[in-house]
Amino acid sequence: MRGRARVPATCGELLQGVDDRGPVLVSLPIDRWGGVEVALVDEPGVRVEPDRPRATAALRVAVDACGWGGGARAWLGGEVPAGHGLGSSTVDVAGVLCATFAAAGRPLGAVELMRLATAVEPTDTSPLPGLWAVDHTAGGRLRRLGPAPGAWVASVDGGGTVDTLEMHARAGAGPPLPAGEVEALAAAVAAADLDAIGALATASARRNQERLPHPAFDDALAVCALASGAGVCAAHSGTVLGVLCASEERAEDAAAQLCDRGWQARVDRVSAPGATAEPRYNRASPWRHGQLAQLVRARGSHPRGRGFESPADHHRPPTAC
């Protein structure tokens, strides 16, 4: 029995920090994807290719949680670079969980997915459809804020890599949040107010500068103003920084201006359909038409959904300087 899953990447977070209720995070998913395939086998033990310890830990958790009595093998697509704040670990961990449950014919709802994922490491909310707030360290506080705004993001990478677990051990789950910040973002998302969303994202990115300084932050702020962007979003445990824009044209303009300032930039569409997962019947055969897709939703249902290979990748290549 096999399953395949596909999980969106992120351009950091719209919000991350710690308020009076504890840690909270709101990811910004984009239209870039990473894939995982899992095979359930009779032989005991788990193996992941390429070898990544957190994906291996997730596979053990998934096999136990779905009730499979044997072992499992997983293959990671590796499409999303690690250590940059693009959600690569969540792609691997959530992808393994979703693909394993799909192979076992088991539903996997949002609450259980977040609980299992955070048992391995701090997680993003990109596997869930729409924008969500969550305690990214323990899986609680799960709240759907609403659909992602129609937006594009011009992003740059500050260089190097950041390990999420090491970052959390050294600097905590995020900077202190002002009272009411989550409620303010929820209201902005509900109103589809991109300027308000961008202002809150900029404030979160600015607070995180003391925790993890991004070398392009001042340039991104300046470009955001010049390109009529909505705000700046940061990977709070990564090296990516983005200018959030209301249109592709503005995002392309922002990318060109960032390039003029010496930063290689790329443009991606903001998109939050959530993860998709389906059973696969054998390694060589194509997907069978008409099968139910396991689309991870809050209610843990099995609506008809897109197959693993159907979401289009609309990202733009890096702007050449």
Q: 22 pLDDT band (50/70/90 cuts)?
A: very high
Q: Tokens 């970052």 — which residue?
A: 167
Query: Is 202 in a helix, a strand, or coil?
Result: helix
The DSSP secondary structure of 49-92, one letter per residue, reads ES--HHHHHHHHHHHHHHT-SSEEEEEE---SPTTSSS-HHHHH
Instruction: Compute the average pLDDT of residues 205-233.
Output: 97
Phi, psi dihedral angles at 251 (to 5 degrees): -65, -40
Percent of all residues in the chain with a pLDDT value above 70, rounded to a whole number: 87
Q: 314 pLDDT band (50/70/90 cuts)?
A: very low
DSSP single-letter state for residue 134: B
Q: 69 pLDDT band (50/70/90 cuts)?
A: very high
The mean of the pLDDT values for the chain is 89
- Residue 8: asked if its preceding bond is cis (omega within 30°), the reply is no
Separation CA 61–CA 115 (nearest Å): 11
Identify the CA nearest to 292 among candidates 3, 71, 82: 3
Percent of all residues in the chain with a pLDDT value above 90, rounded to a whole number: 87
The DSSP secondary structure of 225-278, one letter per residue, reads HHTT--EEEE-TTSSEEEEEESSHHHHHHHHHHHHHTT--EEEEEB-----EEE
Q: Give tens-digit pLDDT for 276-312.
A: 999 986 544 333 322 323 333 333 333 223 332 322 3
User: Largest Cα–Cα distance in the chain?
Assistant: 59
Identify the CA nearest to 177 among candidates 117, 90, 236, 130: 236
Residue 282's pLDDT is 55
Q: Give tens-digit pLDDT for 87-109.
A: 999 999 999 999 999 999 999 99
Residue 72's pLDDT is 98
End-to-end Cα separation, the chain, in angstroms: 47
pLDDT over 50 at 172, yes or no: yes
Q: Give tens-digit pLDDT for 223-254.
A: 999 999 999 999 999 999 999 999 999 999 99
Separation CA 239–CA 241 (nearest Å): 7
Residue 280's pLDDT is 86
Question: Residue 271: CA atoms inside 13 Å, Cβ hemisphere, count?
Answer: 17
CA distance to 4, 42, 66, per residue, from 96 (Å): 8, 18, 12
Q: 162 pLDDT band (50/70/90 cuts)?
A: very high
* Range of lowest pLDDT (10-19, 179-188, 226-235, 276-285): 276-285
Q: Tokens 């390694």 — which residue?
A: 283
CA distance to 113, 115, 137, 189, per residue, from 140 (Å): 11, 8, 8, 20
Instruction: Compute the average pLDDT of residues 163-188.
Output: 95
DSSP single-letter state for residue 162: -
Amino acid found at 30: I
Separation CA 287–CA 168 (nearest Å): 40
Q: 13 pLDDT band (50/70/90 cuts)?
A: very high
Does residue 233 contact residue 242 with C-beta atoms inside 8 Å? yes
pLDDT over 80 at 176, yes or no: yes
Instruction: Compute the average pLDDT of residues 52-79.
Output: 97
Comparing 48 with 281, which gets the higher pLDDT?
48
According to DSSP, the residues that pair with 39 across neighbouring strands are 2, 73
